[in-house]
Amino acid sequence: MYFRRVLRPSSPARTRSDIPGDAPAGGRPPAGGSGRRTASLKAVRTAGALLAAGALLLAACSAAQSRHRAVPATQAVLAALPRSTPPALLPYYTQKLTWRDCGAPGFQCATMKAPLDYADPGAGEIRLAVARTRATGPGERLGSLLVNPGGPGGSGIDFLQRFAGIGYPAEIRARYDLVALDPRGVARSEPVQCLDDRAMDTYTQTDVTPDDPAEIDALTAAYRSFAEGCGAHAPRLLRHVSTVEAARDMDVLRAVLGDPKLTYVGASYGTYLGATYAGLFPDRVGRLVLDGAVDPSLSARRMNLDQTAGFETAFQSFARDCVRHDDCPLGGPGTTPRQAGDRLAAFFRELDARPLLTGDPDGRRLGEALATTGVIAAMYDQGAWPQLRGALTAAMTRHDGSALLALSDSYYERDTKGHYANLMYANAAVNCLDMPPAFSSPDEVAKALPAFEKASPVFGRSLAWSALNCGYWPVRATGEPHRIEARGAAPIVVVGTTRDPATPYRWAESLAAQLSSARLLTYDGDGHTAYGRGSRCIDDAINTYLLEGTPPAEGKRCS
């Protein structure tokens, strides 16, 4: 599954979860948050699903009255936890953090303890990495602002140190301590591991548009190997990386920081995490911004299908821009997006038969799988469109696959030494635990292919087969689709972008309809997420909310 995440800035060549993002579970595209890394708060990819641990579901007893978009009236609702802290959890809620220098000027790091299993706090604990940068002043300090870039699997600490802590508006950094947590299983917080780097190279090159039974067997074998690797490396941890548990960790952190309520900005999958927090702890909601919203009421299959359509919408926007340029290899003036898509699809088929040389020191060639990932990576942000245009030109006219390979590597977080970050492993671990799989067998995928190919003639086939990964996961899902109402919560701002590829706008409409106190803020534009992407209207509305507590007017739209 899925999508989304916001990535920190860097050079154009490095251009997410937050994705799914944000990547479909198992490290296959379109992982949600991320053209991902650009010079402002640009979004990349990432999505997730939910629920776990304990009797957290409550059957809905009345029809939902939607202000934005209808949601199922009889679906289970995430129930709030008791307001009082259980005695067994008090040692965690009252712990003292020891802050230390962490190598990045202006930032401090600490380690926070949390129970591995909230249902059985005595069964062991997990150590979670935390970082902060203190409010710079002037002005009265407003407390802590927790940030999450999505994924699932995106490092909050990397995002804080590389962007939010230095790139958020000065007035926000003046009044808030900016804080980040690497969620359980991610980066510095006991990271999930699945494959060694060479095996991951093989995995990312696996053909995800199988043409015959032998290729289907090869793909399912790859999924099984990936899942078995995760299970072998982290058998206990895999059962306790759910979004519900991560949201409960956030509440421990809130208490440890001394904040009576949580103030939070979450992007892509981070919106699912933030909404889950609001559903569990509505009385502790401060100012929550959920940017690039995920709809928790959807099944994994529906999420994947919606994302497939979202990436098609993004590609059509790219194609319309591309054909205006003399160097576009997909056509010239008068070429329709559908014709451009047909040319790209034909190129993918050529790569399936004859991969291109890339000059990669490890001998990797550009096949259909890596090329598709590279194109999808650039769909997260229109700032990456020129880079993608150049990469396609090099591959399609000069038979040089190196630039598309670089885009794919940036998506997978593979560095120049061939090492992968744990993003894709954590992404699969969270997604596959949060929700039952989209598909459980190749036969189910085959039956769904017409719907996926209708949603996207360019990406539909590969994204349908990519959604099979969780069908082989070694741990049974503990969550299911549900609504989140968070009754009694303070106003929550839900942000949706009309042509967001990874978290389609309809998801923002649906989440805003579910949350009892939500205000929907709409960005009419391209790319994944909206805050910090160049719209002064969006930024001013969010900054005013964070600084003054005043949410945007109902129905506010920006461009």
**Which residues are the active-site residues?**
268, 500, 528
Query: For the chain, how many helices (H) and strands (E)?
Result: 18, 12
DSSP letter for 15, please. Answer: -
Q: What are the angstrom distances between the C-alpha of 142 and each of 97, 124, 146, 157, 518?
A: 20, 34, 12, 21, 22
DSSP letter for 151, please. Answer: T
Per the listing, tokens 């003292």 go with: 96
Q: What are the angstrom distances between the C-alpha of 473 and each of 4, 47, 487?
A: 20, 18, 34
Q: What is the dihedral of CA 384, 389, 393, 399, to 10 degrees?
A: 40
Residues 6 or more apart whose CB falls under 8 angstroms from that of 191 comprise 185, 422, 425, 426
* Distance (Å, whole) CA 32 – CA 151: 6
E runs forming strands in 429-517: 492-499
* Distance (Å, whole) CA 376 – CA 45: 9
Q: Which helix (H) or strand (E) holds 275?
A: helix 269-280
Task: Outline where 67-164 has alpha helix (H).
Answer: 90-93, 156-159
* Distance (Å, whole) CA 425 – CA 183: 13
* Distance (Å, whole) CA 386 – CA 150: 25
* Distance (Å, whole) CA 171 – CA 547: 8
What are 194's two structure tokens? 């699945």
Q: Which helix (H) or strand (E) holds 432?
A: helix 423-434
* Distance (Å, whole) CA 385 – CA 387: 5
Task: Outline where 140-212 has alpha helix (H).
Answer: 156-159, 165-167, 170-175, 197-204
Residues 6 or more apart whose CB falls under 8 angstroms from that of 548 comprise none
For residue 16, give the amino acid letter.
Answer: R
Cis peptide bond upstream of 30, omega within 30: yes
* Distance (Å, whole) CA 521 – CA 108: 33
Q: What is the CA radius of gyration of the chain?
A: 22
User: Between helices 337-353 and 300-322, what is the axis angle to 10°?
Assistant: 110
What are 284's two structure tokens? 């502790």
